[in-house]
A and B are shown apart, each in its own frame.
Chain A
Amino acid sequence: MIKAEQKPMDQIRKMIADYPKVLIVGCGTCVTICFAGGEREVADLASLLRLKDRQQGGQKQFLETTVKRVCEREFIDQLVPKQAEVDAILSLSCAIGVQYLAERFPKLPVLPGLNTSFLGLIEERWQWNEVCVACGDCILHLTGGICPIARCAKGLFNGPCGGSVGGKCEISPEIPCAWQKIYDRMASLGQLHKLEEIQPVRNWVSNQAAGPRRTVKEALKISGK
């Protein structure tokens, strides 16, 4: 799932400085689950922005709304009646949503209230870990279901490096060494021999090296209008 975090308040305030009336849009899916941009966060941010604005003698107005998924046209169409009322949209969705809003509302500035962090997994209710970079050419079958691209600091295909100490990565004692985990997992699967095979140099075309990616599901495509 997509993990995001709210931008610092000062940054947000700077972004909205020129707009008297701002619509804050939350997203009811991934960013709600990670407590970054759901209905609650929209309400809290709106409160704080109003407060801060009033402290400085401003008269900004903030409207609040949360749609089910900002990355769906049918859901963001709910915002159409509001577009004439406001001067900008501050989106608490992930960057996908921000871009979709920008596309859908060409005359309105659309501003990101969140930093889209990574594709991650919840470890504790309060902690998420990055586990996938959406590289487009999955190798998890070779690495015991643990992605070295996302989870090894160096993104090594033939790890570990010399910085693996006591199962931890040299960059932080809090980050487990992905290759140690891969090794342990392959050992428990009785497949250590598979790690002896050297992985060749990766063709990164699938990962953006060839520009923005697009998938077309031909089977679903209906031609004509």
Chain B
Amino acid sequence: MESSRIADCCSPQLNQPCQVACPIHQNARGYLAAIAQGEFEQALRIIMEANPLPSICGTICAHPCEDKCRRGKVDKPLSIRALKRFAVEQGRGAIELARPKARREQKVAIVGSGPAGLVAAHDLALMGYHVTIFEKAETPGGALGLYIPLYRLPRDTIRQDIKNIEALGVEIKTGKELGKDFTIDQLQQQGYKSVLLSLGLPVSRSLPIPGIDHKDVLLALPFLSAVNNGKIRLDPTKVVLVIGSGNVAMDVARSAVRCGAGKVRVVCLEAKDEMPAFPWEIEEALEEGVEMQCCSLGPKQVIVNGNQIAGLNCKKVVSVFDAQKCFNPSYDETVLSDIEGNMIILSIGQAGDTSCLNGSGVKLNQRGQLVYDSNSLATSREGVFACGELISGPGTAVQAMYSGRRAALSIAKFLSGEEFKLEPFEPLPDLASGVIEKVKRLERNSVPILPVEKRINNVQHVEIGYSLEVARKEARRCLNCGVGARRLEEKCIDCLTCVRVCPYEVPVVTPEGAVDIRFDQCQACGICVGECPARAIAFNMPEVEDVLLQVESAMKGVKVAGGGPVICFVCSYGAASWRKLPGFLKGIPPQVGLVSVPCVAKLSVSHFIKPFELGAQAVVVAACEAADCPHEKGILFAQKRVDSAKQLLSQAGLDGRLEWVSFPSGDFSRFHQALSQRQQ
């Protein structure tokens, strides 16, 4: 995947690795922070800025973001995909969907309603174009709806996302097949200015071996489709052999288990550690009883006994990949073995079907593959573009979504007569080893799934999902890459305070003698912001830069019976992360105005004094316990600053008016307690 910006929501300077790794550049850091602060609707808003299929991605995305998460080098990456699902479920229905900003007259036809086609439709509709999707199947969703097993992707999830896309004005015509029900010429005659081919890979590959045409040899996609339609029950006395070890093979094997097969065996060319399926898919399949002993074996012939399949005769695989790392298996034909089995499901890859393009003027190469421009995704016929697995080959849903988005941008440029070009988008560098050493280890909270016994007899969604508390906790593990401290050159006096206070040794004196706050390494604890005597450090979080504005509005918002309002600074990851719960506000005395900040370590002495000048009668600083904070030293610094402010206030005769309280971040009753005690 090349790194190019394809979403407006990412700033060229703040390229957190998760966002760059995501093909559609989801601002994962943004929504993780929102979840950690209990702002679930905001989290979904951020997700939907870049992702028109949030429910689907929250459920099945292969999460390349997690592979690049910098916490992965500290302990384990954030559980980003499952947190997305959490945000979608919490925020659904509560947020307003984006609307087209302008209306354009041009019509665009999209052939195929898989993830690529859906994203392209969404993006073009949002740009104001009239979009119609033509889908061959009776329901939209492409491979998502036809082939992905229900236990991984409940169909409501797909419908939810498609409903939102239809709400943008996208028309989806199902049961319409290109080359049979309509042609590209006809589309152009009907006024479609551009056609996008998003045909996917609907053909399961087979093997040219003896016995392969036996009726009990099935192909993966028709099998999965039949399972999803509830049309398959397997004989519990029979052994199913699944040929292949990719993700589709795992879907097939796990579906066969659920259909009642006696035994399910995976037979594959690859060695155990070469299997291309995602590790979690392999692990869950093993848990469900799928056997994966038959590795490094190449099918030679189907063994048929009478009219029943008795097994598969295999030859030994010497290597799967050649010296150029290309798929090119070599065998030792002298070492043969028989694997017992009564049914075979071939799951060895998929191919496109371009027969529908014959005579359409869209050029195909000698192998029948579509010829297209890899930058603009334009085909040889003007106005006709292609996207998704049809051009990229098998991949993940989010890769297909990227392709759809790229095609949408390219089509928009084509329709407006402009040149299509993407800006480069580079990630922040890796964390330095010195920084990694100092980051607090926080265990990954794996998303709970159903126990094996509750999942193998049905098609219930395997993943249970996070609870409110665990989701917050998991999201708080985010290292906030790229939102931290930045040195303001015009204000910095090189006093070295930041160098001396940073627990992560991020600010350094360079060999040339200059102070460098290594922005790309910053852990965003905020200690330096509160300490810098020249106020020469900017912080890339609006809540940090606007604290005093928040204080002013909090002062206005409270009911004062006498004596003035009480300002309470509270950690937005801690007690304040519960502020959307009904019980939270009830426990806040009426004269208390809350100012939530992403960790009180980002506040300076001035913040504790200024409210008094503005008329506050008291100030409470409500912090989390140090053990609950990823930046334990931040709590120490904050407490010290409160002490300094107390001394200063004492000089103005304001003793006992500033109070520090701390409690476990998950316990907001302690917060209520502290405030009501203060009141007394």
Instruction: Tell me the A residues contacting B by CB distance below 8 Å.
Output: 8-10, 28-29, 32-33, 35, 38-41, 43-44, 47-48, 50-52, 55, 125
Picked from B495, B610, B651, the residue with its CB within 8 Å of the CB of A9 is: B651
Closest 10 CB pairs of A and B: A9-B651, A33-B495, A47-B613, A48-B652, A52-B652, A38-B533, A47-B609, A32-B533, A125-B500, A51-B652
User: Is B415 in the interface zone, CB < 8 Å from A?
Assistant: no
Which residues from chain B contact A32 at a C-beta distance below 8 Å? 493, 495, 533-534
Which residue of A33, A47, A125 contacts B501 across the interface (Cβ within 8 Å)?
Answer: A125
Contacts of A38 in B (CB 8 A): 533-535
Q: Give the distance in Å from the alpha carbon of A10 to the alpha carbon of B654 in the complex.
A: 14
Given contacts A40-B604, A40-B606, A43-B610, 9 further A-B contacts (CB under 8 A): A8-B651, A29-B493, A32-B493, A32-B495, A33-B533, A39-B534, A48-B609, A51-B652, A125-B497
Evaluate contact between B649 and A48: CB separation under 8 angstroms: yes
Chain B residue with the shortest CB-CB distance to A69: B493
Residues of B within 8 A of A48 (CB): 609, 613, 648-649, 651-652
Q: Give B527 Cβ to nearest chain A Cβ, in Å.
A: 12
CB distance from B549 to the nearest CB of A (A): 15
B612 interface residue per 8 A CB criterion: yes
Nearest B residue to A34 via CB reads B533
Cα distance A35–B605 when bound, in Å?
12
Q: Quick one: closest B residue to A56, CB to CB?
A: B653
Within 8 A of A (CB), among B597-620: 604-606, 609-610, 612-613
Contacts of B500 in A (CB 8 A): 125
Supposing A32-B493, A55-B653 touch, asked if A47 and B606 sit within 8 A by C-beta, the answer is yes
Bound CA–CA A8/B533 (angstroms): 20
- In whole angstroms, what is the CA distance A35 to B613 when docked? 21
Task: Name the residue on A nearest B497 (C-beta).
Answer: A125
B534 A52 Cβ-Cβ under 8 A = no
CA of A32 to CA of B500, assembled, Å: 15
Name B's interface SS: helix
How many residues on chain B are close to A (CB under 8 Å)?
Answer: 21
Interface residues of B in 491-544 (CB under 8 A from A): 493, 495, 497, 500-501, 533-535
Closest to B500 in A: A125
Give chain A residues whose Cβ lies under 8 Å from the Cβ of B533. 32-33, 35, 38-41
Give the residue name and chain of the A residue nearest to B531 (CB): A125
Contact status B609-A44, CB under 8 Å: yes
CB <8 Å contact, A44 and B534: no
Contact A44 B648 (CB under 8 A): yes
What's the minimum C-beta distance from A39 to chain B, rounded to whole angstroms?
A: 5
Question: Chain B contacts of A47 at CB under 8 A?
Answer: 606, 609-610, 612-613
Q: How far is the CA of A50 from the CA of B495 in the complex (A)?
A: 29
A51 CB → nearest B CB, Å: 5
B533, B535, B610, B654 — most chain A CB neighbours (10 Å)? B533
Contacts of A8 in B (CB 8 A): 651
Please indicate the chain A residues that have their CB under 8 angstroms from the CB of B648 in the complex: 44, 48
List B contacts of A44 (CB < 8 A): 605-606, 609, 648
- Nearest-neighbor residue (CB-CB) of B650 within chain A: A9
Nearest-neighbour CB distance to chain B for A95, whole angstroms, equals: 20
**B605 and A9 contact, CB distance less than 8 A:** no
Looking across the interface, which residue of chain B has its beta carbon closest to that of A10?
B651
How far, in whole Å, are A10 and B652 apart by their CA atoms in the complex? 9
User: In the complex, what residues of B have CB within 8 A of residue A50's CB?
Assistant: 613
Chain A contacts of B497 at CB under 8 A?
Answer: 33, 125
Are A51 and B493 also in contact (CB < 8 A) when A28-B534, A40-B535 are? no
- A and B contact pairs by CB, cutoff 8 A, 5 listed: A33-B493, A47-B613, A51-B654, A125-B500, A125-B501
Residues 612-663 of B contacting A (Cβ, < 8 Å)? 612-613, 648-649, 651-654
Least CB distance, A147 to chain B, in whole angstroms: 23
B129: shortest Cβ distance to chain A, in Å? 52
B201: min CB distance to chain A, Å: 62
User: Which A residues lie within 8 Å of B495 (CB)?
Assistant: 32-33
Q: A49's closest neighbor in chain B, by CB?
A: B652
* Chain A nearest CB, measured from B484 CB (Å): 20
| Contacts of B459-474 to chain A: CB distance below 8 A | none
Please report the C-alpha to C-alpha distance between residue A38 and residue B534 in the assembled complex, in whole angstroms: 6
CA–CA, A51 to B495, complex, Å? 30
- Contact string against A for B residues 481-493, beta-carbon threshold 8 Å, 1 for contact and 0 otherwise: 0000000000001
Smallest CB-CB separation from A48: which chain B residue? B652
